[in-house]
Every structure is written in C-alpha cells, then in structure tokens.
Chain A
Amino acid sequence: GAVVSQHPSRVICKSGTSVKIECRSLDFQATTMFWYRQFPKKSLMLMATSNEGSKATYEQGVEKDKFLINHASLTLSTLTVTSAHPEDSSFYICSARMGDRNIQYFGAGTRLSVL
C-alpha cells in the first residue's frame, strides 16, 4: 500500500515558538495533500487542502497566517504552526491522495504540546 511519512511524531515546544511538521509520500506522487487536526474523542477536522505548486485552500475558521502550508513538491508538504499557543496543542495528521483514486493515505500523525 501507499506509504505516507509524517515527522516529527511528537513535539513539545514553548509558547510563542514555531513548529514545522513534514509530510512525505514515500512511494507515490501526491498531487493533493490534506492536513487534519483531531481533538480528543472527536473526528478528524480538515484544516486545509494543499496542491503542489499552488496556495493551500483553508477551511472556514482556520487561520492561514497561523497554519502555514507549503507544498513544494509532489512528495512533500509542510505545516508550520506559527507562534504556537497552548490551545494549538493537538494531534495533527496529514494525508495524501494518490493519482485519480479518491483514497487518502494518512501519516502517523504529530502530537503537538505547547507549554
């Protein structure tokens, strides 16, 4: 199956610092990548859709200046949480869509804890 690598798996940072999370499709080219956030006992909440070489499309209520997304290549997308605050602490998961198939393959997620 398609493999998506997400790094780091866990990060602890101080309030006010920025954190970058990487998402890579290892064995396929991903024209579209997605970034989700999961709150405890809640479903996956789509934050943004990222297409290679173009600006990300953010969902309503997601601050694009706070959650910077860069999709520099067909195999790499990054999410940068800028000036992180404790309320940004969450589980962030990326996914990648392979070709024309309407299936998303997920990374292992990143647990962000902001002190």
Chain B
Amino acid sequence: DQQVKQNSPSLSVQEGRISILNCDYTNSMFDYFLWYKKYPAEGPTFLISISSIKDKNEDGRFTVFLNKSAKHLSLHIVPSQPGDSAVYFCAASAGGAGSYQLTFGKGTKLSVIP
C-alpha cells in the first residue's frame, strides 16, 4: 500500500516556465512533508519542507503548497531552469508520533528544456 503517491513519472517544461510537481498521500498521521531533488547516481538533496500547520512555504524559486483536506501537496518551481532537471521525490513523516522515518513517493522526473 503506497502511502505517498507521485502519479506523474515524468514532466517536461520549457525553460522560464513554471514546473508543478504533485504528490498525494493517504496517511492522515503525516504531519511533515519534504521535497528532495535527486540526480542520477547521487543521494537526494533536501529542497524544501512544510509542516501540516501551514499551507504554503516559499524559498526562492521553490514554493510548496499543502492542501490537508485533499491530502495533496505540490512543488512549484518558477522560473524553471535547465539545472532543475532531475528526479523529485516527495516524502512525508509522522514526526509527532516520535518517529522520524520518511516515506517516499516514487519520484517525478523533471526535464527542463532550454
């Protein structure tokens, strides 16, 4: 049973445009969400996170939106740059329960076309 779902395996966006990566979750105990970026043969790099008490968090070109009622979050990258081309993983944790384990989605491969 996949608790974190990224239904789009890939996404192509023109340079300068907005990239929107989506993530859905099923576990209502999740209260902290993270986005990671991963290049081939490298470990994931932390991008941005959001707590369930917020609905938006912004850091430079990256903004994460959380819709708790829909159990949905999204990562917006604007403007998109060729260097943003990578696999993006959504992750969630139920940290309030004392566990810091992360549950990952399968990832979305973003290609930014120059």
Q: How large is the interface on B (under 10, 10 to 19, 20 to 34, 35 or more residues)?
A: 20 to 34
Whether the Cβ atoms of B101 and A49 lie closer than 8 Å is yes
**B-chain residues with CB within 8 Å of residue A32 when the two chains form the complex:** 100
Whether the Cβ atoms of A103 and B34 lie closer than 8 Å is yes
Q: Given A103-B46, A103-B49, A104-B46, does the pair A111, B41 have CB atoms closer than 8 Å?
A: yes
**A-chain residues with CB within 8 Å of residue B106 when the two chains form the complex:** 41-43
B102 at the interface (CB under 8 A from A): yes
CB distance from A74 to the nearest CB of B (A): 15
Smallest Cβ-Cβ distance to A57: which chain B residue? B101
Whether the Cβ atoms of A105 and B46 lie closer than 8 Å is yes
B42 at the interface (CB under 8 A from A): yes
B89 at the interface (CB under 8 A from A): yes
Q: How large is the interface on A (under 10, 10 to 19, 20 to 34, 35 or more residues)?
A: 20 to 34
B43 at the interface (CB under 8 A from A): yes
Q: Given A95-B43, A102-B95, A104-B46, does the pair A44, B100 have CB atoms closer than 8 Å?
A: no
Q: Mark A84-115, 1 if CB is under 8 A from B, else 0.
A: 00000001011101000011111111010000
How far is B93's CA from A102's CA once the two chains are assembled, in angstroms? 8
Q: Given A102-B95, A109-B41, does the pair A43, B102 have CB atoms closer than 8 Å?
A: no
Counting chain A CB atoms within 10 Å of each CB, the highest count among B41, B44, B107 belongs to B44
Counting chain A CB atoms within 10 Å of each CB, the highest count among B100, B104, B106 belongs to B100
9 tightest A-B CB contacts, nearest first: A106-B43, A102-B95, A43-B106, A43-B104, A44-B104, A109-B43, A106-B44, A108-B43, A93-B43
